[in-house]
Amino acid sequence: MAKQLHNRIVGIVVLTALGVLFLPDLLNGEKASVEEHFATIPLRPSVATGGAPDEAFAPIEEGTPSEVAALTEDEPTPEAAAKEESVVVQTAALEAPKAKPAPAEPKQAGWAIRLGSFRDAGNVARLVKNLRDKGYRAYTVPSKPVNGEITVVYVGPEVSQDKLKQQQSRLAKDLGLQSQLVQYDPLQM
């Protein structure tokens, strides 16, 4: 009898497991498929080169007949001849080779005092508050300090390096901070 009971229990467990696995699928019926609609990013458009031929931009020489001269067959009046001469003189002045200025190197944007690098955002906030209370223009990179990431504290920027050297010596006296004078990079922020 124990064998029959054991077989019945195993059968009930197997049927229950099959019911748990397959009954939800049978009762739900047809499942609706979910389609994601998203816009595709278009490829970069190709730029069509061409447009006007290179001859269209070639300078007009005085000896070659122009299209306008071919269209007007009658003799030009003295006033028109004077206008043509002034146009020729103006175009000759425009055609004079112009020396392209050498690209100027970017000018120095200024100077700043680097006070230090800190990982604790609380220390950065206290130092910046203390500096601003004493009248210094303090800023940090990155602008919002994050705990655990390095944040650099600066004072400045200033165009005059001499003014910053004076502020650097005042900082050493007032706060006892050693600092460095560095070039200010506005793109760093």
- What does the angle CA 111 – CA 155 – CA 182 come to, to the nearest 5 degrees? 35
What tokens were used for 96?
Answer: 């004079």
Q: Which residues contact 164 (CB under 8 A, 6 or more apart)?
A: 111, 112, 113, 155, 156, 158, 181
Residue 141 per-residue DSSP state:
E
Beta bridge partners of 117: 152
Q: Which residues contact 128 (CB under 8 A, 6 or more apart)?
A: 138, 139, 140, 153
pTM above 0.85, yes or no: no
Q: What is the pLDDT along the chain (189 residues), one digit of tens a residue?
A: 789 999 999 999 999 999 998 888 777 766 666 666 666 666 666 666 556 666 666 676 766 666 665 555 555 555 655 556 655 555 554 555 555 555 545 556 688 888 888 888 888 899 899 888 988 888 888 888 888 888 998 888 888 888 888 888 888 888 887 888 888 777 765
Half-sphere exposure of 157 (CA within 13 A, CB side): 14
- Cβ proximity of 181 and 113 under 8 Å: yes
